[in-house]
Structure 1
């Protein structure tokens, strides 16, 4: 009953109903497509202000806390595993072809086609990252120049705050971000209706291919999560010389909470407790590494985002260029790193990726419909990956207590607020809540 009342449950029911309706009525279901298009446009219109405000707030509020060897090792492992996740997602997307068979012939928005430009080489592509008119880039939803402008603006704002102590501009942008976030929450209330219309129209056109591609998409995500998790275990065992058979004892409790809540933020207290009391990681390493991981350690999200890129490209019959592949991987990693946070849910992130890489939007409805399941996979890897990165960081400085890990000695973790250690604000929580649809 609780699942039915939740947004994820309502979207899942609407998705099943939309598929069944499309199979029954056939091509007539295309008459409902305009409803789904309105839902997609409601999400699209929030992307530019949300991305701009998120990037500016993240860079403008950065502090110099947490420097040193622990920070270096934390960022090294987190960025390294994120890059591996992006590459693995591309390989799985190429092998499994999750979007193949779901032919989407809907043309791109003319403004997006125009914004794609006619770059003749990589130099032109790089030059295109910088816009001569940021308002023109905003009007055409050309995301990379918008991100570049926002990053530079955020850095300049950060310097201004440090030199003057005045935070009014940062406060204003932060308030804009919060208002846009509320707007997205309002839009997501009609998500079940939008998903029903999108899948009914799509199923009426292509039939059961909707179901098979959704299963392949989830299968690719699950395969990636399993492979990356096993890679984590192998690396941790090799670097720390700990018995991998003892890991289930450390991870079981937080895994249960992660897969039932699909929220890393909700799981954070349990992750911190288990990392110290069961994995044997020192309190200081756990405090810093796990608080950073709350916004940067989303390896399952990186994997899922890149698989979504492959899905949309294949559904649209588009062969990604090497530049688009690299851009997709880069965006998947950056979305995970806290400087380019897109709170508000997977639909916003999927639309952001499609807009930036000039991919068709129509198949996004399939991704939204099954995102609750994908969210389970993502969150499982995110929270357990954070614990294992903490073990790697602690192992490098001999701050893993083997007796605690082996269950010989008991310790008690201290209460800890991640906001005090890494500057994580509400955005961190929002981004993690986005794992389940925000």
Structure 2
């Protein structure tokens, strides 16, 4: 019974119960969906202020020379992991060929054509990273422009604090972040109920038949997630010199939330808390790396989008040239930095990939039908991959508390708790 007191165990039980109830109740279970939607909305409403305050505090509180170094190390690992994810997806797609033998015969929602057609190229995608109205970006939760603005604001605030010594604005954002985290902690008490209702409605609507229609596609994605997880854990173990066997227990809570909500944004508060309190990453590194990783560190998305490119090509009998293969993987990495971090963005991404590479859009209907399952896999790798990057960056910065990681003491995510960071060891790995 003590195990059921753990939030991760409660969410897991609620998920299983929700699926069972949905299968038994059938279409009637859709009446519970609004409760799950309320749970998601309660979390989503706080994501924008949490990300903004986290990035501003992390950037604004740094020493002048530390900002560039921390950002460089963060982006290097994120880009490196993204490239590895694309290459693994390419190799698996060539070996398994998930699109072969899959014929789409059902209708495709015509409304998907409009949002896909409005995206004209990679130039527009990059231009959209900078908003002309930050309040409009906040109202629509367009995360990349929000992060760009927050980074620039944090750099400007950093210079202001260094020049004047006044920390009132920085302290205000720091306190705002703690209030938002406290709000989200209250909301997470309702997580088991929300997850139960979400999965009951889904199971009652589609059942398990959707899985068998794209078994090879799902299997390819799952295998890719497993391969990348092993690779990433190995890199963390070697570079940061930590015991990889301790990671499953530390990541259990955020993993359970990730796979049941299929949303990196919803899982973000838990990832931020656990990375500091259970893994031992300093609050400074966690704030910056995890906030940026929320949008730009979606390695599961890169894996999935690259597999989608080859799935559509194989389903339509299209032979991709070497240039198209590279372009497709580059698009997958680029879209990783621009996809909304809540459920529902996949159809637009798939349509964009198909139209950019001249692939058959009809086969997208199969992918949409099983996207909830691939969303589980994407989100699992997205959120845990961000924690892995945070560990690697913290190790390089000398801000990985090994006593916390090894369970020898506890840390708190609140600013009042000062982490006792270890001194860099002579001969150890100090750069990334």
TM over 0.5: yes
1:293 aligns with 2:293: yes
**Distance verdict in 2 for CA 1:364–1:153, change over 3 Å:** closer
SS at match of 1:226: helix
Unaligned runs of 5+ in 1: 15-61, 107-137, 159-166, 179-191, 197-207, 417-438
Deviation at 1:172, TM superposition (A): 6.5
- Taking structure 2 as the reference length, the TM-score comes to 0.60
Aligned-pair Cα RMSD in Å? 3.7
CA distance, structure 2, for counterparts of residue 382 and residue 72 of structure 1: 20
SS at match of 2:275: helix
Aligned twin of 2:36: none
SS at match of 1:399: coil
1:148 aligns with 2:123: yes
Aligned twin of 2:74: 74
Aligned twin of 2:377: 377
Q: Deviations for 1:350-382, whole angstroms, at most 9, x for unmatched residues?
A: 111111111001111110111111111111111
**Distance verdict in 2 for CA 1:214–1:250, change over 3 Å:** same
Matched pairs, number: 296
**Distance verdict in 2 for CA 1:78–1:151, change over 3 Å:** closer
Q: Is the 8 A contact 2:211 2:370 kept in 1?
A: no
Q: Deviations for 1:229-288, whole angstroms, at most 9, x for unmatched residues?
A: 001110000101111111112111111111111111111111111111111111100110
**Distance verdict in 2 for CA 1:324–1:213, change over 3 Å:** farther
Q: Is the 8 A contact 2:225 2:381 kept in 1?
A: yes
CA distance, structure 2, for counterparts of residue 254 and residue 296 of structure 1: 18
Aligned twin of 2:306: 306
CA distance, structure 2, for counterparts of residue 381 and residue 177 of structure 1: 22
CA distance, structure 2, for counterparts of residue 174 and residue 74 of structure 1: 24
Deviation at 1:140, TM superposition (A): 11
Q: Deviations for 1:87-140, whole angstroms, at most 9, x for unmatched residues?
A: 11111111000000124699xxxxxxxxxxxxxxxxxxxxxxxxxxxxxxx999
CA distance, structure 2, for counterparts of residue 406 and residue 304 of structure 1: 33
Unaligned runs of 5+ in 2: 1-16, 31-54, 60-66, 107-113, 143-201, 417-432
**Distance verdict in 2 for CA 1:342–1:242, change over 3 Å:** closer
Q: Deviations for 1:309-367, whole angstroms, at most 9, x for unmatched residues?
A: 111100000011112111111111011124x7697421111111111111001111110
**Distance verdict in 2 for CA 1:102–1:334, change over 3 Å:** same
**Distance verdict in 2 for CA 1:355–1:175, change over 3 Å:** farther
Q: Is the 8 A contact 1:104 1:363 kept in 2?
A: yes
